[in-house]
Amino acid sequence: MTCAVVLGTQWGDEGKGKITDILAGRSDAVVRYQGGNNAGHTIVVGDRTMKLHIIPSGAIHPGKIAVIGDGCVVDPWVLIKELEYLEGLGIPADNVFLSDRAHLIMPYHRLLDGIQESERSGSGKVGTTGRGIGPCYMDRAGRFGIRAGDLAYEDVVRERIDEALRKLGPRADGSGMEADAIASDLRSVQERLAPHIRNTVDMLNGLVKEGKDILLEGAQGQMLDIDRGTYPFVTSSSCTAGNASAGSGIGPRNIDRIYGVVKAYTTRVGEGPFPTELSGEEGEAIRKAGGEFGTTTGRPRRCGWLDLVVVRSSVAWNTIDTLAVTKLDVLDGSDRIEVCTHYMLDGRRVEYFPSHIRDLARCEPVYVEMEGWGHPDWSEGVADRVMDYIRLIEENTHARVGIVSFGPGREQTILR
């Protein structure tokens, strides 16, 4: 039995979907443990590009058990569409299970997400995905959220909807939010999703006992984590490996392997600090070469050089043992490549990401510059000059690079 976690070490979109897909081939079950359809995970197999937002990426391997765990927030209408999407690809969705403890994103959560963004002043805007993620987690913490398991109890659902709308107060005026209509829509949801809703904590622990291999797929990335990220420019869940246990119900002692996914440069979508961001032509060149546009919202991603303070912190905070470095091919043909190895603050060397964004703003990134590696023949393995880049990552993070990715396809991967 192995139980492994895959998580993003930067600001999301590192290529977790691709790496999960590669590792899922050897797993019996794949599990999402946090976040919702703010995530957009891309998997490319042959000439087919597939995008999943809430169902774990490993589900595209027919026959795998795919679980959406306790720690997720789930828009049931999006889930229904995604189940149909999977079936449309010829992949049976009978093995996709939703935890009865996962919270459901309601139409009023999406509404409130938009209202809260519009109420924030210019520099305070988070740039959320607008999917209702934050408000759903707020109701969960406020203890009036609706969990998937509540759908079987109409009176419970109705009480929670009434309470949520009461709390929304005049902000819901003119929005068309109506308790009867929402309750009635949820009855149809229950009919459609009932076969998929399970006590997935018992299910997963049963699989652990049987000695099955389980892969836990993180969403977002370490610097979007609600505690460790650039608060308040973060998402509303914990993106750490630690939360893989809490968000799935698999005890922490059963997790034995932690993979961190690192993009060969850095991107961020939405607002918030980004120390190595490149404005102007250099950033634009990376965006173009890497096709850096959001999978979920289509927004252009902000681009910059690799920041090893970010990756070093992620490795330490998550006890990552293996790194997967993606999108190295995007840097092919660059004249020069810069890598931030540490920051300087008031004459001191900063190795780990600061806890306050005001301190981060005063940090000066320090770079090493490398000559570009030209256009290597990736089919021959990792070229020497690319190896120098990988060694720089290993030396600075104290983690081994076990997976090298040089294209979106499965076959564009080197396992070391």
Judged by CB under 6 A, which stretch of 8-16, 43-51, 391-399, 401-409 contacts ligand IMO? 8-16
Of the candidates 39, 113, 125, 35, which has an alpha carbon nearest to the alpha carbon of residue 74?
35
Which position among 7, 19, 30, 39 is part of the footprint of ligand IMO (CB under 6 A)?
A: 39
Bridge partner list, 367: 340
Cα(391)–Cα(401) distance, integer angstroms: 8
What is the SS3 assignment for 216?
strand
Name the residue nearer to ligand IMO (CB basis): 117 or 332: 117
Long-range contacts of 79-83 (CB under 8 A, 24+ apart): 79/54, 79/55, 79/193, 80/189, 80/192, 80/193, 82/52, 82/53, 82/54, 82/55, 83/55, 83/196
Options 21, 41, 75, 196, the catalytic residue: 41
Site for Mg ion in 5-24 (CB under 5 A): 13
Our finding on whether 259 is near ligand GDP (CB under 6 A) is no
Which position among 6, 30, 41, 58 is part of the footprint of ligand GDP (CB under 6 A)?
A: 41
Site for ligand IMO in 245-284 (CB under 6 A): 269-270
Q: Rounding to the nearest 10 degrees, give the CA dihedral for residues 129, 130, 131, 137.
A: 90
Q: Are 240 and 252 in contact (CB under 8 A)?
A: no
Minimum distance, C-beta of residue 416 to ligand IMO, in the bound complex (Å): 24
Our finding on whether 2 is near Mg ion (CB under 5 A) is no
Binds 330: which of ligand GDP, Mg ion, ligand IMO, none (CB < 5-8 Å by kind): ligand GDP
Total residues interacting with ligand IMO, rule: CB under 6 A: 23
Residue 113: active-site member: no
What is the SS3 assignment for 397?
helix
Minimum distance, C-beta of residue 315 to ligand GDP, in the bound complex (Å): 17
Cα dist. 239→217, 227, 276 in Å?
A: 10, 9, 22
For residue 293, what is the DSSP state? B
> Per the structure block, which two tokens stand in for 140?
């969960």
What character string, x for contact with Mg ion (CB under 5 A) and - otherwise, covers 264-293? Answer: ------------------------------
Minimum distance, C-beta of residue 51 to ligand GDP, in the bound complex (Å): 7
Cα(97)–Cα(198) distance, integer angstroms: 6
Of the candidates 122, 112, 74, which has an alpha carbon nearest to the alpha carbon of residue 96?
74
Q: Residue 34: what residue type? A: Q
Our finding on whether 314 is near ligand GDP (CB under 6 A) is no
What character string, x for contact with Mg ion (CB under 5 A) and - otherwise, covers 34-73? Answer: ------x---------------------------------
Binds 18: which of Mg ion, ligand GDP, ligand IMO, none (CB < 5-8 Å by kind): ligand GDP
Cα(59)–Cα(235) distance, integer angstroms: 24
Options 13, 70, 225, 307, the catalytic residue: 13
Minimum distance, C-beta of residue 388 to ligand GDP, in the bound complex (Å): 18
Judged by CB under 6 A, which stretch of 25-33, 87-95, 359-367, 402-410 contacts ligand GDP? 402-410
Beta strand spans in 129-173 (E): none
Our finding on whether 150 is near ligand IMO (CB under 6 A) is no
Site for ligand GDP in 319-358 (CB under 6 A): 326-327, 329-330
Cα dist. 249→144, 195, 204 in Å?
A: 21, 21, 8
Name the residue nearer to ligand IMO (CB basis): 108 or 373: 108
Cα(375)–Cα(302) distance, integer angstroms: 25
Judged by CB under 6 A, which stretch of 123-131, 201-209, 375-383, 401-409 contacts ligand GDP? 401-409
Residue 53: active-site member: no
Our finding on whether 295 is near Mg ion (CB under 5 A) is yes
Our finding on whether 44 is near ligand GDP (CB under 6 A) is yes
Q: Classify residue 203 by burial, with Cβ atoms within 10 Å: 0-12, 13-18, 19+.
A: middle
Our finding on whether 286 is near ligand GDP (CB under 6 A) is no
Cα dist. 189→88, 147, 174, 232, 398 in Å?
A: 20, 13, 25, 33, 47
Query: What are the catalytic residues?
Result: 13, 41
Q: Which residues bind ligand IMO (CB under 6 A)?
A: 8, 12-13, 38-41, 126-129, 131, 133-134, 219-221, 224, 235-236, 269-270, 295
Q: Which residues bind ligand GDP (CB under 6 A)?
A: 8, 12-18, 40-42, 44, 295, 326-327, 329-330, 405-408
